[in-house]
Copies of this chain bind each other. A is one copy, B any other.
């Protein structure tokens, strides 16, 4: 079976590959956690949070696909299996069962803050190694920080 050749030197490929795999895990976990809250949220603001969470799911899924396809285009195989996400995610988790609306707002604010922080590190790490990858991670950061503001604003 053939493999994909990389336009990057091995050193850069390693840096960029780690940044993209880390971003993939963050985004897939974000999509799963936002859905989890979308289903289990309870409270007077139910509907606006329920709908807002689905917008987060949508951008998380779209960016996850872009990030993973960028990895494979660089000769790095992305890993988005459940066990990989569960085993390597650094995203703060939410508990099972019903979730109070206020708690969802706090948890999502923390989740987005945590992911945004790591995305900024990846933006910095890839600046020299691969500007096209950095450009993708910048777009992810813009959306993560935008929704962080919108979540935090409703506290």
Contact = CB atoms under 8 A, between A and B. Distances in A.
**Copies of the protein in its oligomer:** 12
A33 B83 CA distance: 11
A107 to B, nearest CB: 12
Main secondary structure, interface of A, reads helix
Contacts of A45: 44-45, 48, 154
A112 to B, nearest CB: 10
B142 A36 contact: no
Contact of A46 (B51, B134, B150): B150
Interface residues of A, number: 78
A18 interface: no
Interface of A: 1-5, 7, 28-29, 32-33, 35-36, 39-52, 61, 64-65, 68-74, 77-87, 89, 93-94, 96-98, 100, 113, 116-117, 120, 123, 127, 131-132, 134-136, 138-139, 141-142, 145-146, 148-150, 152-155
Task: Identify the 5 closest CB pairs spanning chains A and B, nearest first.
Answer: A46-B154, A86-B86, A73-B149, A82-B86, A82-B85
21 contacts: A1-B98, A1-B100, A2-B153, A4-B153, A5-B113, A7-B116, A35-B68, A36-B78, A36-B81, A39-B77, A43-B154, A47-B49, A69-B146, A73-B145, A77-B96, A81-B93, A82-B86, A83-B86, A85-B86, A131-B134, A132-B141
